[in-house]
Amino acid sequence: MKMLSDPPEMPVGTGSPADAPVRTAIPRASPLLIVADRGRIPAASGDTGVLFVTDEIFLPHRNGSSQIYTQVAQAYASAGWRTHCLSFYRDPAEVETPETIAAYREAFDCTLLAPGWNLGGTTTGRIGMGIREANRWLTGNVFASHKLLAARHQAFQASLLTVVQEQRIAEIYFHKPHTMLLLEPLLGRLRPARFVLDLHDDFVARTEHYAAAYKSLFASLPWRDILRQHRRMYLRHRLGRTDTARSRRHELALLTRSDEVRTASDAEYQRYVQFPALTRRVRHVPWRIIQPADTAHRSNGARPFHAGFIGADSVMNLDAVIHLRDRILPRVRTLQPDFRMLIAGTLSRNVGPLLKGVANVEVWPDLPDVARFYDAIGVAAIPLRFGTGVSVKAIEALGYGCPVVTTPVGVRGIAGSLLRPDLVDITDDPSAFAATLVRRATAPLPRTDGASRPEGSFPEGSFPEGSFPEGSSPEGPSPQGPSTPSPALALPKVNACAT
């Protein structure tokens, strides 16, 4: 194991870690430890340590999920917990940058970065990924794994167990079921820590939504564009299959290994709570809206674009662009011919062929600051037809005080009390969607200061009543033992366009 606080590779102290020399290449499949101070990790006192586990490198922030990871950790820290993190990576280059190292060092007391499904891009890892895909195809199991992960575990399990034991980790917070799969051979040795699993999504249902969205996308593209941009996913779409019953059984086996299962979506809570084995484990913890502390005040003046759509390079977002292009914008043009539309986010990488010849639509390929997007548009359009979990893009737009016109899918998983009618219009009808877009885009914008913040939202650094379970408080753990804060989604000034 390499420790990134060891001088002289990465000096720490008075200098900025981001300015420190980049260390030599990380050996593939090698775990990496980042600590917040010089030297070894001090032994912890008190069982108030929490370890967050993610299946991706999420710092510096790069998408909506990364914001959620960070804000959950901040909520725990505000409640008096010591925070630690285990993030799995695909490419060693992801963790070699001084920006990544500095961001993790600032956010957590210590961080362990370890190779994920592909074992850091090694030959063994690539074979393992092939076995995993073959297992998915043969069994239809959404949660298929591969046994070659055991080789990775032998390389880093001592490092992980040392952190868990010496830091007296009382709770392990798994973001998504896949992180439990990655640690499945070690779960028994991580006890007596309490396991909390944040579902983030219904991954079985999501597979079905992906299939429908890909069918729509491939029907809208010529073969040359499919082969150039989507050939891998086309093959996976054509050859893949899902055995829902088998996937649900595996999912249930994972969930019952958790002491608590969290879901932000009320619909998904209602689904999972029906399983007798989960009735006492499942907890509905909706994400809340926080207005970014550093966002510019949205004035009532004219903006360069009437409306905008922002999102990640996801097939569900690409399908939303198709829906916008074919069913919504033609109706908008009959009402307002000069209506200007902005498309932004990593979605822009593959959206070109879908918008060829469409007038008054501009694509921003680069968006270093997401606040620029919301300051440039009059209303956020979310024309999604497919999607599961919680709509982070809707939470983000409301956090920036931007009016939203959306399909019901676009606000899935968000508490109804947060969807103020003066800010949010919800419709599945393309004609009503178009008419509302035009009306919203030409109406005076709502105020976005503290007086008009959506009900249920709260300023950064504060927690509304009910954010913490009975017997706990933001000031620290209760005398009866560590308590678990509910996540509250804040929106720092980052590139959150991949939502």
**For 44-58, how does the pLDDT look when each residue is reduced to its tens digit (9 = 90+)?**
555 689 999 999 888
The CA angle 155-170-153, to the nearest 5 degrees, is 10
Mean per-residue pLDDT over the chain, rounded = 76
Q: Residue 344 pairs with which residues in a beta bridge? A: 310, 364
Tell me which residue has tokens 């005076």. 444
Confidence check: pLDDT of 480 > 60: no
Q: Which residues pair with 473 in a beta bridge?
A: 476
Assigned token pair, 147:
């046994």
Backbone angles phi, psi at 431, to 5 degrees: -65, -45
Task: Give the separation between CA 437 and CA 442, rounded to whole angstroms.
Answer: 9
- What is the pLDDT averaged over residues 361-382? 88
The maximal CA–CA distance of the chain, rounded, in angstroms, is 68
* pLDDT per position as a tens digit, 73-124: 988 998 989 999 999 988 888 787 888 888 998 899 888 888 888 877 778 7
pLDDT at 383 over 90: yes
pLDDT at 144 over 80: yes
Give CA–CA dist 194/209, Å, rounded.
Answer: 33
In sequence order, the 6+-apart residues with CB closer than 8 A to the CB of 311 are 317, 320, 345, 346, 347, 393, 497, 498, 499
User: 475 pLDDT exceeds 90?
Assistant: no
pLDDT (tens digit per residue) in 230-275? 777 777 777 777 888 898 898 999 899 999 999 988 888 988 999 8
Q: How far apart are CA 338 and CA 322, in angstroms?
A: 20
More confident residue, 133 or 72: 72
Question: What pLDDT, on the 0 to 100 scale, is given for residue 490?
Answer: 36
The pLDDT, as a whole number, for residue 315 is 86
Which of 50-54, 305-309, 479-483 shows the lowest per-residue confidence on average (mean pLDDT)? 479-483
- Whole-structure pTM value: 0.74
pLDDT of residue 169: 92
In this prediction, residue 10 has a pLDDT band, given cuts at 50, 70 and 90, of very low
Q: What is the pLDDT of residues 421-474, one digit of tens each?
A: 888 999 999 999 999 999 998 876 554 443 334 433 333 332 222 222 333 333
- In this prediction, residues 320-333 reach a mean pLDDT of 95
For position 332, what pLDDT does the model report? 96
* 3-class secondary-structure state, position 260: strand
In this prediction, residue 64 carries a pLDDT of 64
Mean pLDDT of the 164-175 span: 92
What is the residue extent of each domain of the chain? 2-200, 305-452
State which amino acid sits at residue 316: M
Mean pLDDT of 123-147: 82
pLDDT-wise least confident of 70-74, 228-232, 289-293: 289-293
**Superfamily of domain 305-452, CATH level 4:** Glycogen Phosphorylase B; (3.40.50.2000)
Residue 3 above 50 pLDDT? no
Tell me, what amino acid is at 99?
A: E
State the pLDDT at residue 161.
Answer: 86
In which band, very low, low, confident or very high, does the pLDDT at 324 lie, cut at 50, 70 and 90? very high
SS3 374: helix
| Euclidean distance between CA atoms 67 and 487, whole angstroms | 11
DSSP strands (E only) in 29-107: 32-35, 49-54, 82-89
Of the two residues 458 and 194, the one the predictor is more confident about is: 194
